[in-house]
Amino acid sequence: MRNRTFLDIYEKIISIPSISAMEERIDQSNKQIIDYLSNLFADIGFRISIQKVPNARNKYNLLAQVGSGEGGLLLAGHSDTVPFDEGRWNSDPFKLKHQDNRLYGLGTCDMKGFFAFIFEAIQTLELDKIKKPLFILATADEETTMAGARFFASQQLIKPEMAIIGEPTELKPIGKHKGHMGQSLEIAGQSGHSSDPEKGVNAIEIMHKAIHSLLELRDNLALNYRDESFTVPQATLNLGHVHGGDAENRICGHCKLNFDLRCVPGLSDEQAVRMIDDALAPVYKQYPNRILRTSMYDSSPAFACKNEHDIVDLAETLTGFSMQNANYATEAPFINMLGCDTLVLGPGSIEQAHQPDEFISLDYVAPTVTLLNKMIHHICY
C-alpha cells in the first residue's frame, strides 16, 4: 500500500520534476507527474482521462472525475513549474524540506502542491453519495504558453457550474485580471548612402509614423477601455523594444518594434488586434508591402468571473475576503470558456512563486482543506 498522508503526497509531487520552459534544453515532459496524479485519484474511485496536448513537447492534461450528470465543481491547477535558479536554493528544489512550519520545494506554492490539498479535502467525503460531478484538472505548460488550458478549453469536454483554480492567492478570491499580448512590427525600407536620402526608403521614418499611430491608439484605449476596479484602470499599450539601422551615414533599411497590449475585461484579443491594424491602416496604405505586424506568441485574454451561480458570494462567505483583482495572468480566461463561474483561489502567496527557496506555510493546510471540503459539499451534494 502506498503512503497516503498529506505530507507523503506532497513529497512525492515535489520529487517529480515538471519544469516547463520556452528553451527546449530545459523543458521537461509532465508525463510522470500526470501519471502519478492519475493513479492517486483513480485509486479512490475517480475516472481518469489523459489528453496529449498538441503543439507542445510531450505534455499532457489530466481530467479526473467522480460522479456524473450536469454542473458540478471543477478544481483546477497546473502540473508544471518554472525552472529554478541553480545555486540560489538552500536545499534541493525536488526534495521536500519541512522546516519552521513551512514546506520548501519547487512547486510547493506555485502550485503542484494544490493537488495534495485536494486529496486531503476529499478524504472525509462519501464519494459514492455525490449528486453532481467533481472534476480535477491538471494542465500542462501554464508557465510558458498555457497550451494545456487552451487545448482543454477548445475541447469543451465538461461544463461544470463552478471552477476554482488553486493558484497561490493567500486564499483570497480573485475574479478579474487583465490579458496580455506581445506584438511585433517589422518595417522593410531600402538602404542607401545618406548623402542622398531620397534614393532610399528610410525604415526609421516609417516607424516614426507607425509609433505616432500606436500612441494615438494608446490614448484611445486609455479613454475608452477602462475598468476602474484595477489599480491601472485602462487597457495599456507599451513600446518595449525598438531596433533599426546600422550606421548614421546609411539610409535605414530595416526597423523593428516590439510592444505589448494588456486588455481589460470587455476588450477581446481579436478586437484589440483589429484596433492595432486600424490605427496603422494609414501607414500601411502609404507604404504598401513594407510593414509586417505579427503576434509574438499566443495571447492571454483578460478574465472576469461570470458569477451566474453566485460563486463570488459563496467564496466570500467561505473565505471571509471580498473578491479582488490580480495583476498577473492565469489560466482563468480559458477555464471560463467552459461556461462556468471561475475564481482563482488557493493557498500560499504569489510572493513565494518563481523564487529560490519557494515555500508554502503549513498554516494554510487547515483553512484550505476546510474551504475545499465546504465548496464540494455545497456544489456537489
Any idea which residues carry the catalytic annotation? 80, 142
Collapse the DSSP code of 123 into the 3-class scheme (helix H, G, I; strand E, B; otherwise coil) and give the result. Answer: coil
In order, the DSSP letters of 267-286 are: S-HHHHHHHHHHHHHHHHHH
Q: How far is CA 261 from CA 21, 267, 366, in A?
A: 23, 11, 40
- The length of the chain in residues reads 381
How far is residue 346's CA from residue 183's CA, in Å, rounded to a whole number?
A: 32
- The 3 state secondary structure assigned to 182-203 is EEEEEEECECEECCCHHHCECH
* Smallest separation, CB 167 to Zn ion (Å): 5
Closest CA to 93 of 79, 78, 80, 83: 83
Classify 227 as helix, strand or coil.
Answer: coil
State which residue has the least CB distance to Zn ion.
Answer: 110
Which CB atom, from 315 or from 329, has the smaller least distance to Zn ion? 329
Residue closer to Zn ion, measured from CB, 106 or 304: 106
**CB–CB of 142/112 below 8 Å?**
no
Side by side, the strands of the sheet bearing 102-104 are: 97-99, 102-104, 359-361
Give the ranges where 137-268 is alpha helix by DSSP (H): 147-155, 203-224
Q: Are 114 and 14 in contact (CB under 8 A)?
A: no
Among 109, 139, 121, which residue's Cα sits nearest to residue 30? 139
Binding site for Zn ion (CB under 5 A): 110-111, 167
**3-state SS class at 333:** helix
Q: How far apart are CA 165 and CA 303, in angstroms?
A: 13
Q: Is residue 45 left, alpha or beta, with left meaning phi > 0 and alpha meaning psi from -120 to 50?
A: left
Enclosing H/E stretch for 181: strand 181-188
Nine-digit cell string for 119: 486529496
